[in-house]
Amino acid sequence: KNEVEQSPQNLTAQEGEFITINCSYSVGISALHWLQQHPGGGIVSLFMLSSGKKKHGRLIATINIQEKHSSLHITASHPRDSAVYICAVGMYGGSQGNLIFGKGTKLSVKP
Amino acid sequence: DGGITQSPKYLFRKEGQNVTLSCEQNLNHDAMYWYRQDPGQGLRLIYYSQIVNDFQKGDIAEGYSVSREKKESFPLTVTSAQKNPTAFYLCASRDRPNTEAFFGQGTRLTVV
């Protein structure tokens, strides 16, 4: 069974700061997802990656397959980035594409 | 615009009653999933379906039932057998394994 660990659990930042959220997993995966959950509860997919690095606007996601580790970076953070960020992994041979989720990192960006 | 619609957003139920949560997608995705989210825990899989008229139990299926009569619809029934039903429920869909997952806005169920 894959264990997905995120750190930190909670993060408070000042507007403009560079933010890093980490995700580690225990066994090989087919892909890793970064998701964003706003206070209303709905979840939006930010990235899906299986190697290297992806960038979208101020968000950057990296993954190191050998070390079983991924990071989500937010540059020039803004209060609207305040949300819970969730890491999820897809397993080879898993339940028809089911994802295993971390517990999330709650980010609060102060103006 | 394509997406997933869950309804209602908030639901209150009396103990001992069954209740059905709706999930509809117009993304033409084959796979659909139901997850439960509790405070301080990651999302846990309740049921999933890869194709119409077929579905499989997830990790916490006890006290829940589903149907998949149409490709676009995957309703979840929370039965009176579910011992602790108060939670946030999320529906998701994917075109196939290892593709992007799309989520609904969720339904917050409270048993009173």
Whether residue A60 has pLDDT greater than 90: yes
Phi and psi at residue A81, to the nearest 5°: -80, -10
Q: What's the sign of the alpha-carbon dihedral A66, A67, A69, A74? A: negative
Mean pLDDT over A91-97 rounds to: 62
Specify the pLDDT at position B77: 97
State mean pLDDT over A101-108: 95
Band (pLDDT 50/70/90 cuts) for residue B110 is very high
Question: What residues of chain A, 28 to 67, have a C-beta less than 8 Å from chain B?
Answer: 30-31, 33, 35, 40-45, 48, 50
Q: What is the pLDDT of residue A110?
A: 97
How far, CA to CA in Å, does B60 sit from each of B24, B29, B35?
Answer: 22, 23, 9
Higher pLDDT, A94 or B72: B72
Convert the pLDDT of each residue in A20-45 to its tens digit.
999 999 887 888 999 999 888 888 99
Closest partner CB to A42 (pick from B44, B98, B106): B106
CA-wise closest residue to B110 among B6, B2, B17, B1 = B17
Rounded to whole angstroms, the Cα distance separating A80 from A68 reads 30
pLDDT of A92:
67
Q: Does B60 touch chain A (CB under 8 A)?
A: no
For A76-101, what is the mean pLDDT? 85
pLDDT of residue B60: 95
Amino acid at B65: S
Contacts of A96 in chain B (CB under 8 A): 31, 48, 50, 56, 97
Q: Where are the beta strands (DSSP E) in A1-111?
A: 4-7, 10-14, 19-25, 31-37, 43-49, 52-56, 59-64, 69-74, 83-90, 99-101, 105-110
Asked if A43 and B31 come within 8 Å (Cβ–Cβ), the reply is: no
Across chain A, what does the average pLDDT equal? 91
Q: Which residue of B has its CA nearest to A4?
A: B42
Q: Do B99 and A4 make contact, defined as CB atoms within 8 angstroms?
A: no
- Contacts A–B by Cβ distance under 8 A: 72
